[in-house]
Amino acid sequence: MEKAIVLAASAIGAGLAMIAGVGPGIGQGFAAGKAAEAVGRQPEAKGAITSTMLFGCAVAESTGIYGLVVALILLFANPLIGML
Amino acid sequence: MNGPKIIFTIPLFGGIKVTESIVNMWIIMVVMVIVSIWLTRGLKVRNPSKKQLFIEKLVTMLYDMVRDVMGERYMFFAPYIGTLFLLSILGSLSSLLTLRPYTADLSVILTWTVMTFLIIQINNIKNHGVLGWLKSFTEPVAFITPLNIISEIANPISMTFRHFGNIAAGLVITSLVYGGLASLSGALLSWVPNEFLSSIPILQIGLPAILSIYFDLFTSFLQAYIICMLTMVFVQGSGE
């Protein structure tokens, strides 16, 4: 019974942790929109704009990745079951 | 999804476990060494071969990138960046050959980022001296020192999780899709009387390749680029 509760709570927690994906989604969308604007204004600098945007996107992604790591730990390497 | 399998155990210090990731990395390293020896044999100054022109183009691109980001002072750093890039991208792309990508193993990436962390600190000490290095933690005001130390340690951790998380997420999602498609095609083929024919996962043909383009090709390249770029930016910043 206790194990079932812990497992269910871990699954719910993993789902809740992935709400962290909202932030990077907004941020990356904003960055991509700004990059499209920049390319529209200055098409000859497309290469530099694209690489800068990808770099910024990947850095902005890290908070979402932290949420993902928490979810992965809860799903595949759950430390809470060992505490029972 | 399971973790990497343990291939064998070295009976030292109570047993060092050698996992699939390490063995796959050895395979990639051997391939890299053999290809490098093959590519650099018979280099000529006059009328070079196509092979030589190709490899010269790649090396020039790498050196130009390092020159752009880090400046002329750090040109000796280019081979390290190139090796990091090749190890990262070949490791992630090895999932195309059904090997388990070793970049989906936290300890592999952690090794690289700890190396970067040490290089950053050593470069800082070399440029500012030990006292200058210690003093750089108390800037701009003294009471902020703990925060500076935490942010310095958070650097390699965030780099590790970024690379690991992207590749591991791709692995998890791809295996979920494969499992889902297998049971879906099992349901579709349930009217076939033959046991063998109805167990063929027919939907697995072709469909996961679309995911593979993003998760294997695009993400691998992007993460290799990002980890090299961050290494260069941080090392360059520590010498300012």
ipTM of the complex: 0.77
pLDDT tens, residue by residue, B42-96: 778 888 888 888 889 999 999 998 998 888 888 888 899 999 999 999 988 888 8
A54 contacts B161? CB cut-off 8 A:
no
pLDDT tens, residue by residue, A4-22: 998 899 999 999 999 998 9
Q: Is the pLDDT of residue B158 over 70?
A: yes
B164 contacts A68? CB cut-off 8 A:
no
Question: What is the structure's pLDDT at B42?
Answer: 76
Measured from the Cβ of residue B112, the count of other Cβ atoms closer than 10 Å reads: 20
> Could you tell me if B89 and B224 are in contact, meaning their C-beta atoms sit under 8 angstroms apart?
yes
Q: Which of A65, A72, A76 sits opposite B162 (nearest CB)?
A: A65
Instruction: Find, in chain A, the residue whose alpha carbon is nearest to that of B162.
Output: A62
State percent of chain A over pLDDT 70. 100
Instruction: Find, in chain A, the residue whose alpha carbon is nearest to that of B221.
Output: A54
What is the Rg, in whole angstroms, of the alpha carbon atoms belonging to chain A? 19
Identify which has the larger pLDDT, B195 or B174: B174
Q: Is the pLDDT of residue A36 over 70?
A: yes
Q: Which of A55, A65, A77 sits opposite B161 (nearest CB)?
A: A65
Domain limits, chain B: 6-238
- Chain B residues touching residue A62 (CB < 8 angstroms): 158, 161-162
Q: Is the pLDDT of residue B195 over 80?
A: no
Q: Is the pLDDT of residue B1 over 70?
A: no
For the ranges A30-44, A64-78, B130-144, the one whose mean pLDDT is highest:
A30-44
Q: Is the pLDDT of residue B203 over 80?
A: no
pLDDT band at A80 (very low <50, low <70, confident <90, very high): confident
What is the Rg, in whole angstroms, of the alpha carbon atoms belonging to chain B? 23
DSSP assignment of B70-136: H-GGGGGGHHHHHHHHHHHHHHHHGGGGTPPPGGGSHHHHHHHHHHHHHHHHHHHHHHHHHHHHHHG
